[in-house]
Amino acid sequence: MDENILSGIVQPDSTVITKISEFDFGKVAWKDVSSYAITFGINIIAAIAVLIIGRFIIKHVIRLLQKLMQKRKIEASLYSFFNSLVNIALNFTLAIVVISIIGIDTSSFIALFASAGLAIGMALSGTLQNFAGGVMILIFHPYRVGDYIESQGFAGTVKEIQIFNTILVTPDSQTIIIPNNVLSTSSLKNYSTAPNRRVDINVEVAYGTKPEDVRNVLNAIIEKDERIMKIGAYAPAIPMTSMSSSSIIFQMRLWTESANYWGVMFDTTEKVYKELAKAGIEIPFQQIDVHMK
């Protein structure tokens, strides 16, 4: 009797305890879900706010960059490329920040993009060097389109400055393509930066010729050419520069505008030959005298 009563008492108590436990567990689970939903909602709102603010900031940064590049008169090809590059980089950074605010782990994304960027950078190392060289050339302008330059054994007029290469056109209309990395890191001559340029013409005459006779002929040629400057620091000079094995050498140092350089060079050289011949001044050539005994 006592055992039945005891078992009857214990059984209901166990059922009640079990139901209470189940009820408490559901309540606790619901609290966890609601707490997670609230937190997630707050993160979503924060992410949207950061996205809106970030896009606003990126828009103004790009606009400021555009003004700076326009002020420095950056080439249009570099301007569009650099603008797109900065825009992509800033938006990618913003996307990573927004994803991390939501609560998604971004370490795997960053590692993936970093490894991809490293692989692409190694594969395109030469191309990226040429791009960097093009950026330096377009920003600092060691030469411009239309300038006559000489580098790497090539000389010509700059026809186009591209992002990766510079295109030259030689006086005989040959097209030369030189990588920008080479031009930005090596020495080059730019003949167009100064408005005036000196023409140097060597004149060789035979031993025994009077220097004043040579200078009289050369000065007469200079006086007749209006392209040659004759005043102040640009006044022409005709020094005797050296004595070779079979001749004495004078050098005509003539200043002219850069645009007239080749014309003055070619015309004066021809006139020197003709006028020296008229004056009876011998122009020697390489020869060997053999004396037989």
Question: 227 pLDDT exceeds 50?
Answer: yes
The whole-number pLDDT of residue 134 equals 83
Dist CA 256 CA 263 (whole Å): 10
pLDDT averaged over every residue in the chain = 82
Confidence category of residue 280, pLDDT binned at 50, 70, 90: very high
pLDDT at residue 6 is higher than 60: no
Q: Give the whole-angstrom CA distance, residue 127 versus residue 13.
A: 81
CATH code of the domain occupying 2-120:
1.10.287.1260
pLDDT tens across 95-114, in order? Answer: 888 888 887 777 776 776 77
Would you kindly state where each structural domain of the chain is located, as residue ranges?
Answer: 2-120, 141-190, 196-278
Q: Which of 89-98, 149-158, 284-293 has the lowest mean pLDDT?
A: 284-293
pLDDT bin (cut points 50, 70, 90) of residue 122 is low
Distance separating alpha carbons of residues 88 and 81, to the nearest angstrom:
11
What's the CATH architecture for 141-190?
Roll (2.30)
| C-alpha to C-alpha distance for 231 and 213, rounded to whole angstroms | 23
**Predicted TM-score (pTM) above 0.85:** no
DSSP H helix total and E strand total for the chain: 7, 8
Taking each helix axis from N to C terminus, what angle separates 211-224 and 261-278, rounded to the nearest 10 degrees?
130
Enter the DSSP assignment of 146: T
Q: What is the pLDDT of residue 23?
A: 46
Residue 228, token pair as written in the block: 């040659």
Rounded to an integer, what distance in angstroms lies between the CA atom of residue 216 and that of residue 67? 60
**Fold of the CATH domain 196-278:** Alpha-Beta Plaits (3.30.70)
Length of the chain: 293
When pLDDT is cut at 50, 70 and 90, the band that residue 17 belongs to is very low
